[in-house]
Amino acid sequence: MTSWRPTPSLVRSCLLALGGVTGGVVLGQEVLVVLAAPFAVLAAMGLLSRPRTSPHVSASLDHVRLHEGQGTTSRLLVDDLTGVEHVSRATARATHVVTRPVHGAAGSLVEDGLPVVHSSPRRWGRRVVGAERVALTSPWAGWRWGPHDLPERGFNVLPQTAPYDTRAEVPQPDGLVGRHRSRRIGSGTEFEGIRPFATGDRLKRINWPVSLRTGDLHVVTTRAEQDASVWIVVDGLSDIGASGGIDGAASTLDLTVRAASALAEHHVRTGDRVGLLVVAADATRVPLGSGSRHLHRLQGTLARIRTETRSVAPDRLDLGAGAGSVVYVLSPMFFTPLVTATVSLQRSGGTVVVIDTIGDTMADTMADQPGDRLALPSLAARMQRIERDDRVRRLAELGTPVVPWRGPGTLDTVLRQLARRGRVPKVRA
Amino acid sequence: MATSFRLAAPGVTTPVVALRALVVLLPCAALALALPEVPHWFVLVVVPVTAVMWARAPDHGVGIIPLVLVAGWWAAHGVVDWRVLVVAVLLLGAHVAATLLSYGPPTLAVDPHLVRVWVVRALLAVVPVPVAWLAVRGLDPRQAPAWLWLATAALTGVLLLVTTRLTRSESAR
């Protein structure tokens, strides 16, 4: 149990004061009395300022739900500050968490307020903050309580909400209501055309200018508006490259998770139903849903992704979804079984788009050893890259569009092409 | 305030380095006041070495060694001139600098408000120095009654016991 103990400063003052007085009296060295006089004052004041309390110290974070890059403040709570003059705290360094003060040590006089430490996680995932030591000091630096260890606290840091938007339609909206234009004509507000009046048409849809000009009744036709079901498949099997957090280079998993978060947020905000499948050692599947609560669930699931060496790619992707869904597969495509599973999904009738999340990771890896192209790591990286490129090329040849993640507008072109492809009449055997 | 000093460890700010320099230099300066008389080589070696160790670990018990050695050397030579006043101030300065450093880890920035508080306290602690110096110079101990020395010795013993009891931590009781 922590208690108030004399500081080395007080002990030093006491020893010098008593030694000086003793030396002056016993040995007759008057100079010692002169030299010990200031220390006698410090010793006396330090001894008299002894606190009698048993403080209880804890710390709290202002926020426990953060996106990477956001910040929170850790505040100390001391139940009894009687007899305490100064409070100091030193936090332990945590991976991918920056603090202000930079090295995590803060201290202040009690009359100036208790010291605070600002923390900001720089990468999504499970982060730990709050492991720290706290010390209380009495007036005249006579007594110290602590250092007292405070336990660490962990929380999930959600991926950064990367700016993402697309103006392209989802190819196969299949819901009942929503903001996507349906392929079918219905009672929406999106203009489709004008045609002659037919029995059953609503009178309010008659276009009077055209009807007067042509002499026959014409009505305006509109398209129904539907929502879409979107599946996001995240490859959590591997993480290539070193992650520097949001301030530095991004690993493949960084790109994957941030892109998935951006896509999920975009589609949920659009009113679509979004599901998530994490392909990893402990595969996670979040069923289709909508709304901000569901978005939080998706982002929380993304923040918990872990890569493990024992991860094995599945032979098939079990989405439990109908053929009308749009499936985004976010992966650097390093595993052949995942490629096979993606092709199987495409052949089962889904609209599949592969989003390549390799980014500049491999290029950076190879650029690290520019002089030694025959070094084993460089050779392995190049061979892996060649195999991956071949896999992606074959995937594209089989009809699955592959687009590199570029943020806003990444999917515009490919979604328009898929929408056009969906409108082409099909001849079934 | 947060500027890092190149020769120091990462995170150690310039004011912290300045305080550490004071911890090293002030005891040495107190010794240098004796020039042109040169202290014994043992004092000349041990004072700077222990002062450096003290500056590196302000909370360490080694801090008392340079103070005791410097004070002992001046006492042994029986100098009671103005230099004793300066030595007292220099030793107090080193002690206060070490105290300021001992409030937290080396990466803890020096709080200017705390420095001001300690400057005031140091000035207060200096007040009895000239009084004691004048008493030492002006009073003749041979004329003091014998009971005064007995009373002083008894008072010193009582102070020693009281201090020992007060500085014991609760866990040791």
Chain position carrying tokens 């896509």: A263
Residue B169 in domain = no
- Single-letter code of the amino acid located at A396: A
**Contact across the interface for B113 and A11, Cβ inside 8 Å:** no
pLDDT value for B5: 46
Can you tell me the distance from the alpha carbon of A334 to that of A124, in angstroms, rounded to the nearest whole number? 22
Residue B102 in domain = yes
Mean predicted confidence (pLDDT) in A91-110: 85
Can you tell me the distance from the alpha carbon of B100 to that of B53, in angstroms, rounded to the nearest whole number? 16
pLDDT value for B173: 46
Q: Quote the domain boundaries for residue B91.
A: 14-140
Q: State the sign of the Cα–Cα–Cα–Cα dihedral A161, A167, A169, A174.
A: positive
Closest CA to B125 of A21, A13, A28, A32: A13
Above 80 in pLDDT, residue A98? yes
Above 50 in pLDDT, residue B2? no
**Contact across the interface for A107 and B103, Cβ inside 8 Å:** yes
**Contact across the interface for A38 and B88, Cβ inside 8 Å:** yes
C-beta of residue A356 within 8 angstroms of C-beta of residue A406: no
Mean predicted confidence (pLDDT) in B39-54: 89
Distance (Å) from the C-alpha of residue A30 to the closest C-alpha of chain B?
6
**Contact across the interface for B167 and A47, Cβ inside 8 Å:** yes
Q: Looking at per-residue confidence, does B144 or A338 come out higher? A: A338
Mean predicted confidence (pLDDT) in A18-32: 82
Mean predicted confidence (pLDDT) in A201-226: 83
pLDDT value for B166: 65
ipTM confidence = 0.84
Above 90 in pLDDT, residue B96? yes
Closest CA to A338 of A287, A410, A385, A388: A388
Q: Is the Cβ of A4 closer than 8 Å to some Cβ of chain B?
A: yes
C-beta of residue A96 within 8 angstroms of C-beta of residue A69: no
Chain A from 43 to 82: CB within 8 A of any B CB:
43, 45, 47, 50
Residue B5 in domain = no
In this structure, the strands spanning A351-356 and A402-404 are parallel
Stretch among A97-111, A115-129, A162-176, A204-218 having the lowest mean pLDDT: A162-176
Mean predicted confidence (pLDDT) in A325-340: 82
Can you tell me the distance from the alpha carbon of A331 to that of A354, in angstroms, rounded to the nearest whole number? 7
pLDDT above 90: percentage of residues in chain B: 32
Q: Which residue of B has its CA nearest to A89?
A: B104
Element (H, E) at A88: strand A86-91
Can you tell me the distance from the alpha carbon of B40 to that of B47, in angstroms, rounded to the nearest whole number? 11
Instruction: Concatenate the DSSP letters of all residues of B47-81 into one string.
Output: HHHHHHHHHH-TTSGGGHHHHHHHHHHHHHTT--S
Residues in chain B within 8 Å Cβ distance of A42: 95, 121, 125
pTM metric for this prediction: 0.73
Give the domains, in start order, of chain A with CATH numbers: 4-48 (no CATH), 57-158 (2.60.40.10), 182-226 (no CATH), 229-423 (3.40.50.410)
pLDDT value for A135: 92
**Contact across the interface for A29 and B75, Cβ inside 8 Å:** yes
pLDDT value for A279: 82
Q: Is the Cβ of A337 closer than 8 Å to some Cβ of chain B?
A: no
Cβ pairs bridging A and B (under 8 Å): 169
Residue B120 in domain = yes
Of B68, B85, B156, the CB nearest to A25: B156
Distance (Å) from the C-alpha of residue A86 to the closest C-alpha of chain B?
8
pLDDT value for A188: 60
Q: Looking at per-residue confidence, does A153 or B103 come out higher? A: B103
Above 60 in pLDDT, residue A179? no
Q: Which residue of A has its CA nearest to B86?
A: A35
Q: Angle A27-A33-A35 (CA atoms, 0-180°, nearest 5)?
A: 120
DSSP label at residue A349: T
Mean predicted confidence (pLDDT) in B146-162: 70
Above 90 in pLDDT, residue B161? no
**Contact across the interface for B63 and A15, Cβ inside 8 Å:** no
- Distance set, CA A216 to CA A13, A219, A396, B110, B111 (Å): 109, 10, 51, 89, 88
- Distance set, CA A360 to CA A356, A385, A402, A406, B70 (Å): 11, 11, 16, 11, 64
Can you tell me the distance from the alpha carbon of A45 to that of B1, in angstroms, rounded to the nearest whole number? 30
User: Strand ranges (DSSP E) for A138-210?
Assistant: 143-150, 153-158, 180-186, 190-196
Mean predicted confidence (pLDDT) in A370-383: 74
Residues 6+ apart with CB under 8 A from A151: A130, A131
Looking at the DSSP bridge assignments, the partners of residue A256 are: none
Above 80 in pLDDT, residue B81? yes
HSE of A423, CA atoms in CB hemisphere, 13 A:
12
Residues 6+ apart with CB under 8 A from A367: none
Above 60 in pLDDT, residue A345? yes
Residue B62 in domain = yes
Instruction: Concatenate the DSSP letters of all residues of A174-188 into one string.
Output: -SSSSSEEEEEEESS
Q: Which residue of A has its CA nearest to B81?
A: A31
pLDDT value for B8: 65
Give the pLDDT band (50/70/90) at residue B3.
very low
Tally of CB atoms within 10 A around A269: 13
Residues 6+ apart with CB under 8 A from A190: A181, A222, A223, A225
Above 60 in pLDDT, residue B169? no
What the block records as the tokens of A112 is: 């100036």
Element (H, E) at A90: strand A86-91
Of A4, A41, A103, the CB nearest to B107: A103
Stretch among A267-271, A277-281, A307-311, B22-26 having the lowest mean pLDDT: A307-311
Residue B59 in domain = yes
Give the pLDDT band (50/70/90) at residue A213.
very high
Element (H, E) at A214: helix A208-214
pLDDT value for A418: 65
Distance (Å) from the C-alpha of residue A11 to the closest C-alpha of chain B?
8
Chain A from 132 to 191: CB within 8 A of any B CB:
135, 137, 140-141
**Contact across the interface for B105 and A90, Cβ inside 8 Å:** yes
pLDDT value for A105: 86
Give the pLDDT band (50/70/90) at residue A357.
confident
HSE of A381, CA atoms in CB hemisphere, 13 A:
21
**Contact across the interface for A39 and B95, Cβ inside 8 Å:** yes
Closest CA to A238 of A308, A338, A304, A305: A308
Q: What is the three-state SS of A43-81?
A: HHHHHHCCCCCCCCEEEEECCCCEECCCCEEEEEEECCC
Q: What are the two backbone dihedrals, phi and then psi, of residue A351, each rounded to the nearest 5 degrees?
A: -95, 105
Q: Which residue of A has its CA nearest to B101?
A: A9
What the block records as the tokens of A406 is: 């570029």
Above 90 in pLDDT, residue B140? no
Residue B166 in domain = no
Mean predicted confidence (pLDDT) in A200-214: 88
Of B64, B103, B107, the CB nearest to A86: B103
Give the pLDDT band (50/70/90) at residue A332.
confident
Above 90 in pLDDT, residue B49? yes
Mean predicted confidence (pLDDT) in A172-187: 54
Average pLDDT of chain B, as a whole number: 82
Closest CA to A323 of A341, A345, A350: A350
What the block records as the tokens of B114 is: 């705390």
Instruction: Concatenate the DSSP letters of all residues of A263-306 into one string.
Output: HHHHHHHHT-EEEEEEESTT-EEEEEE-SHHHHHHHHHHHHT--
Q: How many domains does chain B have?
A: 1
pLDDT value for B24: 93
Above 80 in pLDDT, residue A196? yes
Q: Is A148 exposed, middle or buried (0-12, 13-18, 19+ CB in 10 A)?
A: middle
Residues 6+ apart with CB under 8 A from A115: A76, A87, A88, A89, A106, A107, A108
Can you tell me the distance from the alpha carbon of A238 to that of B45, in angstroms, rounded to the nearest whole number? 60
Mean predicted confidence (pLDDT) in A249-261: 85
Above 70 in pLDDT, residue A90? yes
- Single-letter code of the amino acid located at B163: T
Give the pLDDT band (50/70/90) at residue B164.
low
Mean predicted confidence (pLDDT) in B8-31: 88
pLDDT value for A364: 57
Residue B170 in domain = no
Closest CA to A339 of A298, A279, A256, A383: A279
